[in-house]
A and B are shown apart, each in its own frame.
Chain A
Amino acid sequence: MSRWVIILLLMLVVMWALIPPLLTLQTSFMTAYVFINPLRAISRMSLANWRYMPYRLILKWIRNSLFVCGISSLLATFTCMLAGFGFAKYNFRGKNVIFWLFLVSMMVPITVLFLPRFLIVRNLGMFDSFAGMIAPMLIYPAGVFFARQYISRISGELAEAARIDGASEFQIFRHIIIPLTHPLLAILILFTFMNTWHQFMWQFLVARNAEIQTLMVGLGSFLRGLGTGGEFAITGTSPVSLEGLQATASIILALPPMLIFILGQRYFLTGLIMGGGYE
C-alpha cells in the first residue's frame, strides 16, 4: 500500500523532470500552433522548423564548439586531476591558503569576472582567437574541489608501496592514481565539457569573427536575426514559428552533451558517488 504511494509520488517527480524537455521536443515540430494538447498536436506536426535551420553554418559552429570544448575539457581535466592529487595526498606550506583561494574562486559570481578577464586576455594578445576562447576554460575550480574529494578517499597504501619500490611521484600519479580514478576522469570531462559548451557570454565577448563562433553563440545570433531582418528573417510566407525554431535550436544544442552523458553514464554515477562526500 505505502509502496504504491511512494511510486506514485516519485513518478510525479519524473513527470516534473521530463515534461519540459518533452514539450520542447514537441514544439520543435510545431509550426503555427504552439502548445496544444499533445494528442491533437500529432496531426499538425511538420518538419518545417527542422528544414529551416541553416545546417551549413551549424556544422561549422559544431566543429568550432567541438574543437574549443574538446581541448579545454581535456586540458582542464588534466589540471584538475593534478591539483586534486596534490591537495589530497601531499602536505606543503600554504596548502590551506591556496585551497581556500580555489573555494573563493568557485563562489565568486562568474559573470562579474568577464570584463577584467576580457582585458587580461586582450593584453595577452588572444582576443578574437581560439586561444582566447579556450584559455580561461582551462581551469575549473569546482573540478579541483571534486577531484580532491575523490582522490582523498583512495587509500594511500598502494602509493606508499610503489614509493618504497622506487617509483617517482609522477609515476605514482600516472600508474596508480589514474587507473583507479576512471569514473572521476569521466565526470570531470563531462562537467568541464558542459561548462564550456553552455558558455555563452564569454565566447560571445571574445569571438567576434564569425568563422570561429561556437554553436551557442551562432544559434543565438541566428535566433536574434529571425525577428529583426537579415539573411534568415522569417517572412510572412515562411511556414515556421519563432518558438518552434527556438525549440529546434535548443534540441540541436542539447544533443552533444546528452550523447556524452549517455555514453559515459555508468562512469558518471560511480564518479558522483565517490566524489560527493566530505571526509
Chain B
Amino acid sequence: MKSRWMGAIFIAPATLLLLIFYIAPIFYSARLGFYNVRFGVLEWVGFANFKIVLYPGPFWDAIRTSGKFLCAILFFDLVLAYMIALGLDRLNPRIAALMRTCYYLPVVLSAVATISVWRWFFRYGGGAFNKILSMLSLPLVMWLGHPRIAPWALCLALSMGTIGISTLLYSAALGQLNVDWLDAARIDGASELRIIWHIITPLIRPTMFYIFITNTIGAFQIWAHPYFFTGGGPLGSTSTVAYEIFNTAFGRNDFGLASAMTAVTSVLTIFLAWFFLRWSGFGHE
C-alpha cells in the first residue's frame, strides 16, 4: 500500500538526525570505552574501563544517587501534583487557573536562574532554612555539607522543576472524568477518599503512566544541580549518573572511562525503554 511508504517518508528527516546526533554518538562512546583516551591519544585497554564501571565504586554510587532523585521526583510529580490537582478541582476555576500559572513559572525558568537564592536558603550560618530552624529552637542542619542530607536538599531545590507540568496534566485528566459516576458514588454514601482511591485514580491511570515515564527519564538527566550546587560532593553523595559521566569526561579528562560509563548507561536505558514499550502495549493498538 502507498501509505506504508508515506509513514517511512514522514519519519525520515527526524530519524536521520537521530542517527547522526544520538545513535552514532552512543555507538562511538561504546567503542571509546575500550580505549584509554588521555590527551587525545588512544590506547587499547580491552575491558579495563568496563571492569572499573561494573565493580562497586563511584558509578554504582551515582546510580544510587540518581535513584534517590528519582524517588523524590516521583513523589513530587506523581503524588504531590495529583493532590494539588485534586485540590484545584474543588476551587473556583479562575483562581485555579491563576494558581496553575504560578506553578508553571519555575518550569520556564532554567535551573540556574534561582541558584543564588537556593544557595542562601541552604547556607549553614544565616541561611533561610537554618534561621527558621533556630526560631523553632531546633538543631541546625548542614544542608549541603553532610553526605546523608545533601542529596535530599538538592531534591528540595528541584522540587518545583516539573510540578507545574504534572499538575496541568492531572487537571486535564480530572476535567475529562464522567461526573455521573462520581455523583452516583456520592449518593451511595462513599467517602471522598474512597472515591479518589477507587474511582478517580484507576480512571486517570494513562496520565499517571505518562508522568511516570517522562519524569523517570528526567531524573536520570539531572546534572545541573550537582554541578552548580555541590560539584557532586560531599563525598560524591550528590553525583548523579549524568553528572558522574560529565565529570569523568570533562573534569578528570578520562574519556575512555566516561565512554564505558555511557555504554553501560545506554544498555540499561535500552532495557528500560523496552520495558516501557511492553508495559504500555505500544504496537498492539
Contact = CB atoms under 8 A, between A and B. Distances in A.
Interface of A: 3, 6-7, 9-10, 13-14, 16-21, 23-24, 27, 34-35, 79-80, 82-83, 85-87, 89-93, 95-96, 98-117, 119-120, 135-136, 138-139, 141-142, 144, 149, 169, 173, 194, 197-198, 201, 243, 246-247, 250-251, 253-254, 257-258, 261, 265, 269, 272-273, 276-279
B169 A276 contact: yes
A147 B240 CA distance: 29
Contact of A107 (B11, B206, B258, B273): B273
Contacts of B105: 17-18, 21, 258
Nearest to B29: A116
Contacts of A21: 105-106, 109, 113-114
Contacts of A138: 17
Given A3-B90, A250-B116, A273-B168, 8 more contacts: A10-B99, A17-B106, A18-B102, A83-B11, A107-B217, A141-B22, A142-B217, A197-B110
B4 interface: yes
Contact of A111 (B115, B121, B223): B223
Contacts of B217: 106-107, 142
B124 interface: no
Nearest to B223: A111
Nearest to A243: B116
Interface centre among A13, A112, A116, by most chain B C-beta atoms within 10 angstroms, is A112
27 contacts: A7-B91, A17-B106, A18-B105, A24-B113, A35-B120, A90-B4, A91-B4, A95-B7, A98-B11, A107-B220, A108-B266, A109-B242, A111-B245, A113-B21, A116-B29, A139-B21, A142-B217, A194-B110, A250-B112, A251-B113, A253-B113, A261-B108, A273-B169, A276-B211, A277-B172, A278-B207, A278-B209
Given A138-B17, A272-B172, A112 B209 contact: no
A24 B116 contact: yes
Interface stretch (B139-147, B180-188, B276-284): B276-284
A257 to B, nearest CB: 5
A104 B10 contact: no
A20 B99 contact: no
Contacts of B241: 109
A218 B159 CA distance: 28
Contacts of B87: 6, 9-10
Given A9-B87, A107-B273, A247-B116, A113 B102 contact: no
A265 B53 CA distance: 45
Nearest to A90: B7
Given A108-B265, A277-B207, A83 B10 contact: yes
Nearest to B96: A10
Given A17-B106, A120-B21, A83 B14 contact: yes
Contacts of A254: 108-110, 113
A79 B24 CA distance: 19
Interface of B: 2-11, 13-15, 17-18, 20-26, 28-29, 32, 84, 87-88, 90-91, 99-106, 108-118, 120-121, 128, 159-160, 163-165, 168-169, 172-173, 175, 206-207, 209-211, 213-214, 217, 220-221, 223, 241-243, 245-246, 249-250, 255, 258-259, 261-262, 265-266, 269-270, 272-274, 276-277, 280, 282-283, 285
B21 to A, nearest CB: 4
Q: Which 6 A-B pairs have the closest CB atoms?
A: A90-B7, A86-B10, A273-B172, A109-B242, A83-B14, A116-B25
A164 to B, nearest CB: 13
